[in-house]
A and B are shown apart, each in its own frame.
Chain A
Amino acid sequence: MKTKLRRSLTIMVTVLALLALLTQTALAQVWIHANGGQYFTQYGNAANFFFINNDGYCINGRGPCDPSLWYLQWTYNHAGCGVEEYAIYTMASVQQFNGNTYAWLDQSTGTMYGADYSVTYNGVSTYSVTVNQNAYSEMWATIASGLFKTSAVRLTDGWGSLYWCNGASGYQVEFDEIKLEI
């Protein structure tokens, strides 16, 4: 009897704990995903990334990030088809709502006018999008809007689909904070 009671209570505590977690998550509307943070994974040759300290959205006196994340990073674009470096921002919480994603872009870099972003939504759908980083300076730019259950944003050093296989080089692709707004 005691064993049965203990088992029931263990299950109940687990369920309640999960419910509490879900409730907290369900209240979230604004999430920031920092370059270099726990929801950010970069691929390619790490030596090809350049870093600017205390620049980007998260800097001393601005943003919720730990001081270890007070920097932005960028890489030169890949000319022609394909990509070399890229990064994935995994959304901290996948919400049962249609949301918008925004990228913070700075004056110190982000000259790429055909940045190659893609957004994973609804689990198995992809929205490929080309963004003009060069038009934005110390401000947020829209990456995607109205996507259900956004789960990841990918940014590469290649040309976005509008300019795919463009042979131009020398543009700087900025990797900084990504915001999900519900």
Chain B
Amino acid sequence: MTRQLAFVVLAVTGIGIGVVIGAIGNLGSTDRQSIAGTLTAPAPAAAAGPRTNEEIERLKAELDRVTQYEVAYGCMNRNRFGQPELCGASKARVDAIHERLAQAIREFDRRDATAVAAVVARIRELSEDPTRAVAFQGTSANPYTNTGKRIELYRDTAGLDYWVDPTGNTVVQFGPGPNSSIAFAQTGSRSPAELRGIAERYLRAHISDFAHVQSDFAFQSSSKPGGASYAFRWQASSKPAGEDVAPFVQVVLSPAGEVMSFADTRSLYTGSQP
């Protein structure tokens, strides 16, 4: 009896130690921003984590299994930094499963056709191209706010990435995405005042309440070294509670006045996930 009691006491102590060690693990990293939500959220409204289903989990397991097999018996070489990576048929086999996994996640996360059509319409309006082709790429927690509101990622055939707040089908940012080969001008003869005029005209045409932005937010302009690009930014004077980045509206222009990127992060701080 005494032995059983001792066992229970020690077991409880063990759990306590485990929890403490876990907490220490959390505090030990000064680089980590936050932990939030759950990774297997049953619905988008319940948490900001990614959703999953049986097919996605099956593909993950298959990817793990095949990767382990190919690492053990398949084609491996070293990349230019000396790190091992798959090659040849082994790489092709694993890449194919990874693509199936990515596709399954996209299909699971893609909203209905009406919502997607609304997003595409907004993207075409912002890009000033009524026929621009865009494709849904997936979702993630948004990088700007700590509240964990998720964004959708779309990509067009020109290589621009669009971040969409699904709450109101709002494009919160666009710019050249990974491996975009859009060749923006690197030189130009426009003055900073001319460029600001271009930025304001663009925003006036595409943000219905831009006049309020101008009156309520503080304006800043800046250029990268050598005038490589110019940013025109309207930013809230204070950050919402618990946030690190203040809401802002911004356009970055090339020296020739091309719109390189756009952001309007205000909606990320309001409302809830649909």
Contact = CB atoms under 8 A, between A and B. Distances in A.
A95 interface: yes
A136 interface: yes
Contact of A135 (B3, B31, B81, B260): B260
Interface residues of A, number: 81
Contact of B140 (A17, A28, A135, A181): A181
A25 B25 contact: yes
A18 B71 CA distance: 27
Nearest to B103: A146
Interface in A9-40: 9, 12-13, 16-21, 23-34, 37-39
B252 interface: yes
B7 to A, nearest CB: 7
A37 B31 contact: yes
Contact of A142 (B105, B177, B182, B225): B177
A13 B9 CA distance: 12
A145 B22 contact: no
Contacts of A172: 225
B58 to A, nearest CB: 13
A128 to B, nearest CB: 9
Given A20-B22, A132-B176, A26 B7 contact: no
Given A28-B32, A99-B140, A129 B224 contact: no
A69 interface: yes
User: Interface residues of B toward A: which range?
Assistant: 35 or more
B13 to A, nearest CB: 8
Interface in A110-145: 110-111, 113, 117-118, 120-126, 129-132, 134-145
A86 B10 CA distance: 49
Given A135-B261, A136-B261, A146 B105 contact: yes
Contacts, number: 246
B33 A63 contact: yes
B141 A182 contact: yes
B14 A13 contact: yes
A139 B48 contact: no
7 contacts: A16-B15, A29-B148, A66-B30, A96-B60, A97-B50, A143-B178, A161-B179
Nearest 6 A/B pairs, CB to CB: A20-B22, A20-B18, A137-B231, A16-B18, A135-B260, A13-B14
Interface of A: 5, 9, 12-13, 16-21, 23-34, 37-39, 62-66, 69, 86, 92, 95-100, 102, 107-111, 113, 117-118, 120-126, 129-132, 134-146, 148, 154, 160-162, 172, 179, 181-182
Given A9-B10, A137-B233, A139-B173, 6 more contacts: A21-B21, A29-B35, A31-B33, A33-B31, A148-B101, A154-B81
Interface of B: 3, 7, 10-11, 13-15, 17-23, 25-26, 29-39, 48-50, 52, 60, 63, 67, 70-71, 76, 79, 81, 83-86, 91, 94-95, 98, 101-102, 105-106, 137-138, 140-144, 146, 148, 153, 161, 173, 175-182, 184, 186, 222-226, 228-229, 231, 233, 244-245, 248, 250, 252, 260-261, 263
